[in-house]
């Protein structure tokens, strides 16, 4: 099995949820990544140990039932913010343990260095208004 490149983010903030929300929103326009964080997993009922949730949400192109797609769509802001098609690919469940990290972007295809650099700049830009500090690691 080929392991996929992942960009892990560790946040430093009293309340991490505003930072997690902007990181999730950033992923909507990145069709070659799927995401996971503990708050997202909890909200969608995904068992991080089992890698599945309601309707068998499997992420990374796997899709899920109509109910799970509606839940994801609502979690990411609703139909005006995310398409049904993107809902089928945005949630990663291959990341069973985030370890010390708060958020992961999982790349569906190996990213070029320019893509990783752009993501790092975009992350810093969206996190700035939240006041959260962060560290980023690509593995």
Instruction: Report how many domains make up the chain.
Output: 1
In a domain, 74, yes or no: yes
In a domain, 21, yes or no: yes
In a domain, 86, yes or no: yes
Cβ-contact 84, 69 below 8 angstroms: yes
Work out whether the CA dihedral 33, 36, 40, 42 comes out positive or negative: positive
pLDDT-derived band at 60, boundaries 50, 70, 90: very low
In a domain, 103, yes or no: yes
Q: 0.85 cut: is pTM over it?
A: no
In a domain, 1, yes or no: no
Report the percent of the chain where pLDDT is more than 70: 79
Pairwise CA distance, residues 47 & 139, whole Å: 23
In a domain, 63, yes or no: yes
pLDDT digits (tens, 9 = 90+) for 33-58: 999 987 887 777 766 555 444 444 44
- Domain residues for the domain of 121 are 6-138
In a domain, 125, yes or no: yes
Short-list 18, 27, 15, 17, CA closest to 92: 27
pLDDT digits (tens, 9 = 90+) for 83-109: 888 888 888 877 666 888 999 999 999
Higher per-residue confidence, 84 vs 60: 84
Q: What are phi and psi of 8, to 5 degrees?
A: -100, 140
Q: DSSP letter for 51, please.
A: T
């Amino acid at each position: 099995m080929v392991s996929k490149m992942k960009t892990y983010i560790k946040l430093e903030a009293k309340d991490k949820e505003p930072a997690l929300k902007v990181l999730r929103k950033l992923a909507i326009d990145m069709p070659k990544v799927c995401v996971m964080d503990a708050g997202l997993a909890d909200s969608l009922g995904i068992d991080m140990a089992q890698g599945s949730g309601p309707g068998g949400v499997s992420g990374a192109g796997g899709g899920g039932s109509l109910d799970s797609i509606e839940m994801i769509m609502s979690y990411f802001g609703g139909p005006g913010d995310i398409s049904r098609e993107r809902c089928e690919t945005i949630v990663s469940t291959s990341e069973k343990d985030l370890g010390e990290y708060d958020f992961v972007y999982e790349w569906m295809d190996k990213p070029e260095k320019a893509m990783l650099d752009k993501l790092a700049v975009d992350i810093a830009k969206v996190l700035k208004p939240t006041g959260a500090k962060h560290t980023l690691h690509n593995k």
